[in-house]
Structure 1
């Protein structure tokens, strides 16, 4: 599905994480749907030394929680970007604060890119946003059970995309509502992954490599390899989402008309305890 007109221009927000790195690789692949793509990558800090900068046409560091810094940094490319791939996340001391921070970040970025260089919408090419969320959409605040109150339970698997929302604060819900508020001037897609496995030395959520390093330390110190997870994950089945699979799915939804304005679960399909 080659793009025969002006090339698509992607902005990956959160490019140094596992999903972001795989997105950059997939978008720069010769076989990328909609390609060839021009790719901007961004994160809140300067580009790390390990990141293969050849995957990006330009790296941009900015603070998406700061509306002024976001505008100053992104206005110069606001007439170019056609697609935003949102794989950024900030987790704070409570879910309600996390809701506010993450919704603010996405809103700041979209406001600049939709306004265009003139600040009035003239010249903006932004047409689609894909957002990475996860199975917490169905499970509620499993990382902080005290926020769930009494008598409220998560959905039981299998998780279907059309399951009703749970009555807990959840920043995933806030991001989806924000995307819908831009319709019909923007289309969107939401990807609900499970535990993401991929390559990134910067990701707090790199469960596979974190577990491997922990196992190596235990072996070196002669200590027992005790399960480092929560009771919930010990007692329940889990699955994982390969970051490379997620990247291809993000791109497919971004350029496929029949996939617009929908949420998709995306996992590898194999379960384990």
Structure 2
């Protein structure tokens, strides 16, 4: 279906809406949650965008398929961009070369902002999603609690390039921006999106299928450190607050559920909830240890009538490895967010159980209880 037709189909009467959101990276775990929340808000219209056409789980969403690395690709959608008032930017292209990663991602954002400016879009605010890498977590232990005004580490870091690019455009065009820094985001979509709920749910299902204990698949150190997570739906609500609150202009905020946990307690709670046996941590690398489980997953897909997907594309095992082998505390300071008036809070245990339940309901993982 053509973009113009989709936009016409989903536009609400002019008098009932005042804001139009462009969600960049809309098929990811963050973008998906933001789109779905905005669809419930009567004074917003929303358009999703990503490099490819909308996936099946985003069917019905007005969509712009554009390669942000190619300015001409965006130019073809000028009409869809001309009345955008708010941007939620969750796009990311990884690269092993961190300097190249920084250059490439900054160029993508610059191309988008050029496209919006060229279309004459009346931008009010751009919300840019960052993550723990902004504090250098990918390089090793950091000082905790992590605070928004912590100094930058030695670059390259693509988040720095994105932030500087955005700040420059906003200064030139009179726009405003906000930066949101969630930790591990828990959502209810499948695929290789950085979604830990999918990793845990799939791993639990395979443990049940093989009748083996649901052992924590990480290091002993990782089992005991302080951790935090961010409910994708909570992040979506905070995102709309950050996009509209005057106090949030030009500010960065850590965003987590507000509680802390250790896997040794949370893993036990999950096992109890699903009636699974556990044991001591099993220090494996999921990306290697689960590589031979493709035929098993195919059989489970047929037996439980799951949504068909290539095993290699279904579960982000490597993301699970990074989380489960983290050997140092991950704690963000939420004081600034609270003082500025945003008080969203959620239990991470409840969030994980909810998201895994939604993944089961969508037939992305098998049932975990008899």
Report the TM range for the smaller structure's normalisation. 0.7 to 0.9
Alignment partner, residue 20 of structure 1:
31
8 Å CA contact 1:140, 1:170 repeated in 2: no
Q: Are 1:177 and 2:164 counterparts?
A: yes
> What's the TM-score, normalizing by structure 1?
0.82
Find the partner of 1:92 among 91, 95, 107.
Answer: 95
Find the partner of 1:8 among 6, 15, 19.
Answer: 19
Alignment partner, residue 78 of structure 1:
81
In 2, Cα distance between the equivalents of 1:71 and 1:195? 34
Matches within 5 A, 1:221-260: 221-223=210-212, 225-229=214-218, 233-234=222-223, 236-260=225-249
Deviation at 1:49, TM superposition (A): 1.5
- Who wins on radius of gyration, i.e. which is larger? 2
Deviation at 1:232, TM superposition (A): 7.0
Alignment partner, residue 110 of structure 2:
107
8 Å CA contact 2:148, 2:254 repeated in 1: yes
In 1, Cα distance between the equivalents of 2:166 and 2:17? 25
Deviation at 1:215, TM superposition (A): 2.1
Deviation at 1:179, TM superposition (A): 1.1
Deviation at 1:219, TM superposition (A): 2.7
Alignment partner, residue 193 of structure 1:
182
- SS of the equivalent of 1:272 reads coil
Q: Which runs of 5+ in 2 are unaligned?
A: 1-13, 263-370
**In angstroms, what is the RMSD of aligned CA positions?**
2.3
Structure 1 runs (4+) deviating above 3 angstroms are 3-6, 222-235
Find the partner of 1:63 among 33, 47, 67.
Answer: 67
Q: Which runs of 5+ in 1 are unaligned?
A: 117-122, 143-152
Change (3 A) 1:230 1:64: farther
Find the partner of 1:265 among 242, 254, 275.
Answer: 254
Q: Are 1:157 and 2:144 counterparts?
A: yes
Matches within 5 A, 1:215-226: 215-223=204-212, 225-226=214-215
In 2, Cα distance between the equivalents of 1:7 and 1:65? 30
8 Å CA contact 1:90, 1:102 repeated in 2: yes
Deviation at 1:51, TM superposition (A): 2.2
> What's the TM-score, normalizing by structure 2?
0.62
In 1, Cα distance between the equivalents of 2:221 and 2:37? 34
Residue correspondences, number: 247
Larger deviation: 166-175 or 104-113? 166-175
8 Å CA contact 1:16, 1:202 repeated in 2: no
Alignment partner, residue 166 of structure 1:
153
8 Å CA contact 1:128, 1:254 repeated in 2: yes
